[in-house]
Amino acid sequence: MILAIALVATTLTFAQERKARGAKLTPEQQTELQVKRMTLELDLDDKQQKEIKTILVEQSKKRETKIAAMKAKKEKGEKPSADEKFAAKNEMLDNQIEIKAKMKKILKPEQFAKWEEKQADRKEDRKERIEKKVEKRSTK
């Protein structure tokens, strides 16, 4: 009896911890944290912070609408066609080019170089995480 109670209590504790970790930040909160992180990394001044925040908010809104559209399609059981995948990737790359151009205008040359380096590091980290997920799935 005591063993059963301990088992249930442990399971509930882990479930609550997992639920707490899953709490999502709002897009505004994410943007605020990202601007502060960039301020620390790149030593941004107030004007740069405001301009970058504007870019990030715009980017966040675009991303949220895309995610909502993709979720709606997924719930309907629809899969994107090859043309839709191509269009989405093309749009994503266009957005990246646009953001890079805007950042180049806002940041000083040394800040921009450091920003590009950080972007490359994050891209590499994402790639490694994806590879680890694929490995886990293939070993199961």
The span from the CA of 96 to the CA of 59, in Å, is 10
User: Residue 130 and residue 136: Cα distance in Å, rounded?
Assistant: 10
From the CA atom positions of the chain, what is the Rg in Å? 21
Can you give the pLDDT at residue 10? 65
Q: What is the mean pLDDT of residues 45-51?
A: 95
Q: How many percent of the chain have pLDDT more than 90? A: 44
Please, which pLDDT band fits residue 50 given cuts at 50, 70 and 90? very high
Q: How far is CA 37 from CA 103, 118, 119, in A?
A: 15, 11, 13
**pLDDT at residue number 32:** 92
User: Band of the pLDDT at 49, cuts 50, 70, 90?
Assistant: very high
Q: Roughly how many angstroms between the first and final C-alpha of the chain, as a whole number?
A: 34
Joined together, the tokens standing for residue 93 give 């790359």
Distances (CA, A) of 45 to 35, 51, 52, 57, 79: 11, 10, 11, 18, 45
Q: Of all helices (H) and strands (E), which one includes residue 107? A: none
